[in-house]
Amino acid sequence: MRLEWLDDILAVAEAGSLAGAAQLRHVSQSAFTRRLRAIEEALGVPLFDRRRKPVVLLPEIEARAGEMRALATQLRHLRETLAQTSGARGLTLACQHAITTTHSPAIVSILTAQGGRPVRVRSDNRDECLLRLLSGEVDLAVVYGAPEIAPLTLNRAFERVLLGRERLIPVAVPRLAQGDDLPFIGYPPDVFLGQVMARAIMPGIPAHRVLRRRAETALTLAAREYACRGIGVAWLPEGMVLEDLESGCLSRLDQSLPSQQMELWMIRLSDRPDDSWSHDWARLVAALAQPN
C-alpha cells in the first residue's frame, strides 16, 4: 500500500465527495477519479460506492479509515526517519490555499534545482500556516497580508521578505456581469479572505446591488470552480484566474465592484537551530524578493 493511495482514499473520507477530495489533493476531479480507479485496479478490490451521489467510500472501507490513518502516519514517520538518516532531510513549505496553486511552483522549482533537497508543501489558512511555522512543523510560510484590512502582525521571532503584490478581484461567468442582483461566493469570517471580504469588499458594494450569498468555502480553488459553474461572483487572486479571463470563461468585474490589493510575504523563524537552511533562504530571497 502506497502512502499516496492512503492519502487519496482518506481525502474522500474527510471531504465526503470526490469533488471535495480532489480539492484537498490539489488536482482536477477528472484526474483524481482516474487515480482512484487505478488504486482499485492495483488493489483488486472496490473501494467506493458509485451508486450514490456524491460518491463515497463503501461502508466496509469507511470502517477501516482509522487503521488507514494510523498506517499513513507510520509510513510518513518511516519516510522522514529514512530521509534524515541518509542526510536528505527535505524542507517543508506552508502556503495559503491560493498560493499553493499560483506561487508555490516557482519556490519549489528554486529549492529543488540542481539536485536540491526535496520539498513538502502544506496548504492551509493563513493563521494555521503561521502556527505551523512557529511550532517548527514547517521551515517556511508564504502568506498574504492586507495592510489596514487584515495586517500581517509578526514579532521578532519571524523574518519576512516581500515577494510581490496581487489584487483580489471579483470574477464571474459573463451572464452574471450585468444586473443589480449579485449572487456571490463567500468565505468564512474566521479566515483571511473572509476578513478581507468583511472589511474591504462588502462596504464597497454599490447600494443598488442586491447581495445573495449562494455558497461559502475557505478554499479558493473551490470558489473558482463555483464561479466557473455560474453559481455566483467570486473574489479571487488575479493570478489564479488569468487563464480563465483570457479564455473568456470568466469576466472580471472590478470596474463595477470593489477589489483589494494584497501583499505576498515569505516568512521564516529568525532564530533557527538548523544552519543548513540559511543557504536555501538566501537563494529564495535573491530570486524572488521585491522592494518594499
Query: What is the structure's pLDDT at 199?
Result: 93
265 beta partners: 143, 162
257 neighbors 202 (Cβ within 8 angstroms): no
Query: What is the structure's pLDDT at 137?
Result: 85
Query: What is the structure's pLDDT at 208?
Result: 87
In this prediction, residues 204-219 reach a mean pLDDT of: 90
- Checking if the pLDDT of 87 tops 60, the result is no
Return the percentage of the chain with pLDDT > 70, whole number: 91
The backbone torsions φ and ψ at residue 171, rounded to the nearest 5 degrees and listed phi first, read -135, 155
The strand ranges marked E within 56-139 are 56-57, 91-96, 119-124
- Checking if the pLDDT of 228 tops 70, the result is yes
Query: What is the structure's pLDDT at 284?
Result: 84
Higher pLDDT, 102 or 3: 102
In this prediction, residues 35-47 reach a mean pLDDT of: 87
Distance of alpha carbon 110 from alpha carbon 116, whole angstroms: 8
